[in-house]
């Protein structure tokens, strides 16, 4: 039995996808529209959102948004609420990735990554949590990553932001589940997107964004708190994290060749 309500019928469900212009967010938006959801689309790239909104028969709102601009989130949310009378699920998919090793670290680049991946979610939480508590219903889904399970080469800043999101989602669940608000944590493995195209190493169990979207929808249908995939990869990473650090570091070095 899941820790959240099981979502199996998306017809007319009001969903806001933040980070819908490409990758997992875009694939999720298309799947949700195909299943009859009303989908508000947000990202910085308006032309990309417009292409998704042009899907025949789609019920969409296009709300350009920069997650690093905290003041822009509440007005966008109010547009959704005004149009549809409320919100059923907010999906935070916006994120960035820049592979970096310790000797390549640039503080300004690191801050930009933290602003998008972590602060971008925090910027939106006050407005979203306030609306859901007012409704006494709905849910929040945060896309993190298995890179947040433990330290990995090239994920010096990216992994830290994802670890923070995992902790954030866990704490949100503790606070909000007793008040009837669902919280979902989404931890993908390697998914082929413009972000992972930056990686120069072999990515094990690499899947498409469309397959990732199907896995996430299946996780919602089971009411899972954590939706992680592909399990042939993520379960090994969970096991690895349980090992003593001496073994963990040795196996990561051996497995990655770094």
Quote the CA–CA distance of 140 and 164 in Å, as a whole number.
Answer: 16
Three-class SS state of 109: helix
Quote the CA–CA distance of 251 and 130 in Å, as a whole number.
Answer: 44
Q: Across the beta sheet with 38-42, what order do the strands follow?
A: 59-62, 38-42, 14-18, 89-92, 139-143, 182-188, 226-229
DSSP codes, 173-220: HHHHGGGT-EEEEEEE--EESTTGGG--S--TT-EEHHHHHHHHHHHH
Q: Are 77 and 127 in contact (CB under 8 A)?
A: yes
Quote the CA–CA distance of 119 and 112 in Å, as a whole number.
Answer: 10
Told to judge if 158 belongs to the known catalytic residues of this protein, a careful annotator would answer yes
Instruction: Name which of 85, 117, 83, 113 is nearest 99 in CA terms.
Output: 113
Sign of CA dihedral 207, 213, 219, 225: positive
Quote the CA–CA distance of 51 and 49 in Å, as a whole number.
Answer: 5
**Catalytic, out of 158, 173, 184, 248:** 158
Q: Are 43 and 64 in contact (CB under 8 A)?
A: yes
Quote the CA–CA distance of 143 and 188 in Å, as a whole number.
Answer: 8
The catalytic site residues sit at 158
């Amino acid at each position: 039995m899941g820790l959240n309500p099981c979502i199996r019928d998306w017809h007319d469900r009001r969903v806001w996808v933040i980070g819908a212009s490409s990758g997992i967010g875009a694939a999720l938006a298309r799947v949700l529209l195909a299943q009859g959801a009303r989908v508000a689309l947000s990202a910085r790239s308006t032309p990309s959102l417009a292409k998704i909104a042009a899907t025949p028969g789609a019920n969409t709102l296009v709300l350009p948004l920069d997650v690093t601009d905290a003041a822009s989130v509440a007005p966008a949310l109010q547009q959704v609420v005004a149009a549809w009378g409320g919100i059923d699920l907010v999906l935070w998919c916006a994120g960035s990735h820049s592979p970096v090793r310790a000797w390549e670290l640039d503080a300004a680049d690191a801050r930009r990554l933290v602003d998008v991946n972590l602060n971008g979610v925090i910027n939106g939480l006050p407005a979203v949590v306030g609306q859901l508590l007012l409704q006494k219903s709905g849910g929040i889904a945060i896309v993190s990553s298995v890179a947040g399970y433990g330290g990995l080469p090239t994920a010096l800043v990216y992994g830290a932001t994802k670890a923070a999101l995992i902790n954030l989602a866990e704490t949100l669940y503790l606070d909000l589940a007793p008040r009837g608000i669902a919280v979902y944590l989404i931890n993908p493995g390697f998914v082929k997107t413009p972000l992972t195209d930056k990686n120069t190493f072999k990515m094990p169990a690499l899947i498409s964004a469309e397959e990732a979207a199907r896995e996430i929808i299946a996780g919602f249908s089971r009411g899972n708190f954590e939706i992680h995939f592909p399990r042939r990869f993520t379960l090994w990473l969970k096991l690895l994290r349980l090992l003593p650090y001496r073994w963990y570091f040795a196996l990561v070095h051996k497995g990655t060749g770094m």
